[in-house]
Amino acid sequence: MKVYKLPIPAVQYIQDPSHTATIFHGDCLKLLKALPSNSIDFILTSPPYCIGKEYEKGMDIESFKSLHSLVLPEVARVLKDGGSMCWEVGYHVNAATILPLDFVVHDLVSKIPNMQLRNRIIWAYGHGLHSETRFSGRHETILWYTKGDQYEFDLDPVRVPQKYPGKTHYKGPKKGEPSGNPLGKNPSDVWDDIPNVKANHIEKTAHPCQFPVALAERLILSLAPEGGIVLDPFSGVSSTGVASIRCGCRYIGAELSANYVRIAEERLRATLEGTERVRELNKPIFTPEPGSKVATAPSHFVAAQSTLPATDDFCEAKAAEPVDRMSASESLSCPPHA
């Protein structure tokens, strides 16, 4: 494992199959320019969202667009034919309005020939800021692209337990036989089983926005070839690197901040030694014991809730209100949950 301040030595280092991980301490565009075309097996990153985090220079959506208009064509160039690229993003927030950053990313990637969108994964998690003026944000998205139409997708290492493993075929020649895959089911494109890295998470470092290693592991295990080179151009504290090593891949990251590079270096060394603390991919989300203190509403919560109208009463009261913005025929044409 080595850190370089010049991009070419970092590239040469990781091209030697006997080396496992390297970080280029500098601007990812410099690293990308030094990488040969078709040389990287898998790319995973979470870029700066330009919302005023300590590591962000630009604070507006134009900064995000101009950075991405330079970076995305370069990552597509260095990705091997048949390789996958995953871009993990949330929302740009300005005053009270939000912009899903995957809209911006997809707009740019869709102009790059040969890059095909395979999934838009919703990563939902339980903790974050509480909003008073809209529903609190509790998800981000991961756009998965392949370079070309031929690509590898290995579902078996990332299958999750069946919800109803005893379910059987209810008709046909297999009637009565178990209908599920014994290895587990496809985790789907909605992931709500991986907690985000908040203060009490065992992977928490000084980085304000690191993503969990398990998120990277699910993507690497299913989309990267064993022993292949994984690139994270905005590598932060190298959560992608920790996952790459644990999954038997090699890793190259780029990061501007000296402090994050130092933490990343420690994490990668600890991973190579097998001592890095990581929350395992299949560990269930913590649910408090019923009756435990944290699961029990204080008496003033109960008192406050008793002052609210019951949901049914509330709906009946709403239904009795005159329809003023929608004609009766329009409202009747709506499906029940529209």
Ligand X SMILES: C[S@@+](CC[C@H](N)C(=O)[O-])C[C@H]1O[C@@H](n2cnc3c(N)ncnc32)[C@H](O)[C@@H]1O
Scan residues 255-274 and list those touching ligand X (CB under 6 A): 255-257, 260
Closest among 83, 78, 20 to 274, alpha carbons compared: 20
Tell me the longest C-alpha to C-alpha distance in the chain. 74
**Residues between 12 and 41 with contacts to ligand X, criterion CB under 6 A:** 27-28
- Count helices and strands in the chain by DSSP H and E runs: 10, 11
Residue nearest to ligand X (CB): 236
Asked if 99 and 133 touch (Cβ cutoff 8 Å), the reply is: no
> Does residue 186 sit in helix, strand or coil?
coil
With CB under 6 A as the contact rule, the residue among 101, 236, 276, 281 that binds ligand X is 236
State yes or no: residue 234 binds ligand X (CB under 6 A): yes
The dihedral formed by the CA atoms of 319, 320, 326 and 328, expressed in degrees to the nearest 10: 90
* 175-214 binders of ligand X (CB under 6 A): 207, 209-211
Give every strand in the sheet of 115-124, ordered side by side: 2-4, 21-25, 250-255, 229-232, 40-45, 79-89, 139-147, 115-124, 190-191
Of 188-196, 234-242, 289-297, 320-328, the window that binds ligand X (rule: CB under 6 A) is 234-242
Least distance to ligand X from the beta carbon of 63, Å?
10
Question: Is 91 near ligand X (CB under 6 A)?
Answer: no
CA Rg, the chain, in Å? 23
- Count residues binding ligand X (CB under 6 A): 19
Write the binding mask 36 to 75 for ligand X: x where contact by CB under 6 A, - elsewhere: ----------xxx------x--------------------
Q: Footprint of ligand X on this chain (CB under 6 A)?
A: 27-28, 46-48, 55, 207, 209-211, 234, 236-237, 239, 254-257, 260
